[in-house]
Amino acid sequence: MNEKNVAEDCQDFDRWKEFEKHLPEGGVATAFPTQEACRERLASVRWPGGTTCLKCQTQDVGYHTARSIYFCRSCNYQFTALTGTLLQSSKLHPQLWFETAEEYIKWRAKHMGHDFGVQALAEYMGVAYPTAWRIRKTLKQDLGMDGGGLLARCICPDLHVNQLFSE
């Protein structure tokens, strides 16, 4: 292993420790106890100035509570809090994403940055191995982003991402 790799590994470990430090007291399940709370959290992180149509950018957007979808009154486009994110192709609910991301962060912070095994993740979530593999890939992509990704910004409320991670 050359020096560059060592440095990158350490930096990676710092990232997980930093995420862990900012997880909500009492855990994600307490901070965001319902699907609705998770959806609201996602929306406020994605659209801090108010929900914005992903197609036409207007803010004339309504919310269909029973179906958990937003609809644009201007262009009729329908979307959810996950549309257009890395998480959208999955059938997982926001709450399960939040809880799994928390578990994933804790694991990596505890194990010197080593990755969560796919089999262990499959068992934790009660899903099949290929599903767990895809979920882990998405988690890594999202949490590995500059600025922490959508999930870290949702579940680590006081994370000062710009200070820490942007180059």
Q: Where on the chain is the footprint of Zn ion (CB under 5 A)?
A: 53, 55-56, 72, 74-75, 77
- Cα–Cα distance for residue pair 120/73, rounded to 1 Å: 44
In the complex with Zn ion, the residue whose CB is nearer, 77 or 133, is 77
For the bound state, the minimum distance from the C-beta of residue 44 to Zn ion, rounded and expressed in Å, comes to: 20
Burial 43-65 (b: 16+ CB within 10 A, else e): bebbbeeebbbbeeeeeebeeee
- Cα–Cα distance for residue pair 143/125, rounded to 1 Å: 18
For the bound state, the minimum distance from the C-beta of residue 85 to Zn ion, rounded and expressed in Å, comes to: 18
- 143 with 149: CB under 8 angstroms? yes
For the bound state, the minimum distance from the C-beta of residue 78 to Zn ion, rounded and expressed in Å, comes to: 10
Structure tokens at 99: 């809880």
In the complex with Zn ion, the residue whose CB is nearer, 53 or 122, is 53
In the complex with Zn ion, the residue whose CB is nearer, 53 or 105, is 53
Token pair 């020096």: residue: 3
In the complex with Zn ion, the residue whose CB is nearer, 55 or 134, is 55
For the bound state, the minimum distance from the C-beta of residue 73 to Zn ion, rounded and expressed in Å, comes to: 8
